Amino acid sequence: MTDKPVIVFPEKHRALLEHRLPEGVELRTFTDLESAMELAPQADIGWFEDFKQGLMFKASAAAENARWINTAGVGIDAFRTDLMIERRQIFTNGVGLRSDSIADFAVLGVLNIARRFAQVVRGHDKGEWMSVPKGSRSLGGTRALIIGYGSIGRAIGERLRAFGVEVTGVRRTPGSDPAEIGPDDWRARLGEFDWIVLGAPGTSDTENMLGKAEFASMKQGAGIVNIARGSLIDQAALIAALESGKLDGAVLDPTTPEPLPEDDPLWKAPNLIISGHIAGAAQLDSMQRAVDRFIVNLDHFLNGEPLDYVVDFSRGY
């Protein structure tokens, strides 16, 4: 670290951070991929918060001199974590910052499938008066499986229980709660659930965790909501399950790749809504809270103290 640590940060969020920085720290901001790549090697601390053009992946690779890389997001697969491990860089993320926003969005997804609200909106756009509802499923008395029962998963569970849904959560290490099960237990029970909500991190263990065999094991008419990572779902198998009528609907906030090409067959799959990875961004104050957390960690960093919310690379989150 230099005598005057350099923080590389998005220009669009400068107003949230600059006035809170202590003396002796220099802020350099980027506006696009080109400027991020130019500044990344200068960073002692890199905060590359932009999915566009793979900026986080490319800039984190270029930040060869950084001691600490930060993100307001939860998932880490958009970054060059292999290089961070090799360089022994500290990586902190935004676990817990956007739980409420993402949980709200997940429940919105379940409600959309149950009530076919997307079709209601399309009818409105065409000026159609709907005398018969497009969807008439109630949430009360149904059962949901939430795969990835961390801070976001638990927030989703709390909201679904308020609608009368029986919730089962999948955790790496389940506690004493009988509503929690382990990562080796959920596949055998897929046929019990009306709703499958994905909140697990994107790792080698979770890649394509829902595929042809899993969809075949699900309850007829089940619904899928993914607010985690596109890599968790075999998208070709999902399309087949929707087209066959095995699934009643799906809502995908993330996809693979992102952005999804205009000619990708997912766009034409029946009863599918793709929302463009906006669930977390819907919370207007999330970046402010991320800066609040960063300022505390910056104090730790400058004083040689351990940082909070450090990513465990061995677990992938």
CA angle 198, 217, 168 (to 5 degrees): 45
The residues assigned a catalytic role are 277
Q: Where in the chain is the domain with CATH 3.40.50.720?
A: 6-97+283-302, 99-281
Q: Does domain 6-97+283-302 have CATH number 3.30.470.20?
A: no
β-strands 247-252, 222-226: how paired?
Answer: parallel
Residues 6+ apart with CB under 8 A from 293: 94, 97, 308, 309
Long-range contacts of 79-85 (CB under 8 A, 24+ apart): 79/48, 81/311, 81/313, 84/60, 84/313, 85/313
Q: What is the pTM of this model?
A: 0.86
In this predicted model, what pLDDT tens digit does every residue of 58-111 receive, in sequence order? 999 999 999 999 999 888 888 999 999 999 999 999 998 989 999 999 999 999
pLDDT recorded at residue 286: 83
72: left (phi over 0), alpha (psi -120 to 50) or beta: alpha
In this predicted model, what pLDDT tens digit does every residue of 211-236 receive, in sequence order? 999 999 999 999 999 999 999 999 99
β-strands 26-30, 143-147: how paired?
Answer: unpaired
Alpha-carbon distance values, 77 to 38, 80, 223 (Å): 22, 8, 26
Helix (H, G, I), strand (E, B) or coil at 37: helix
Tell me which fold the domain 99-281 belongs to: Rossmann fold (3.40.50)
